[in-house]
Structure 1
Amino acid sequence: MLPIDKEQQARLGLELATKRQEHADLDAAIHTLQASGLADVTLIQRLKKRKLALKDRITQLERILLPDIIA
């Protein structure tokens, strides 16, 4: 993987923080909807799918920003 400059690192770090917050917000929303018992199953499925996509992006960003160090 090519090294990234400080500007790219800062931009990706900000995106990572944003995605983590969005992921946590979706998790809370899903739990609240499920606990209410009134939520549409399709809506919950869509939110879970979005949450999974966010998790995938978070993993990508973490791999870019925190590469494995071979000891």
Structure 2
Amino acid sequence: MTIEARIRELGNRHRNLDDTIQQEMRRPTADATRLRGLKQQKLKLKEEIGQLESRMH
């Protein structure tokens, strides 16, 4: 898999996590523990994307 393809894949996963986070936050009884975990996953993806992008330059 090329770096560009990996970045696209991670970007898609990042957007999906963002959608999931938004849905959870709209719930009247949002699960704080689940939100924290989702946000941590999203941050890890963002960091990995940043590392891959820096290799391309």
* Fold in common (TM above 0.5): yes
Overall identity of the aligned pairs, in %: 30
1:13 aligns with 2:1: no
**Alignment match of 1:37 (pick from 4, 7, 28):** 28
Structure 2 unaligned spans of 5+: none
TM-score relative to the length of structure 2: 0.90
Shift of 1:38: 2.4
Which 4+ runs in 1 deviate beyond 6 A? none
Which is greater in Rg?
1
SS of the counterpart of 2:2? helix
Q: 2:52 matched to which residue of 1?
A: 61
Task: Indicate the RMSD between aligned Cα atoms, in angstroms.
Answer: 1.1
TM-score using structure 1 length: 0.74
Across the two proteins, how many residue pairs are aligned to each other?
57
- Identify the residue that residue 4 of structure 1 maps to in structure 2: none
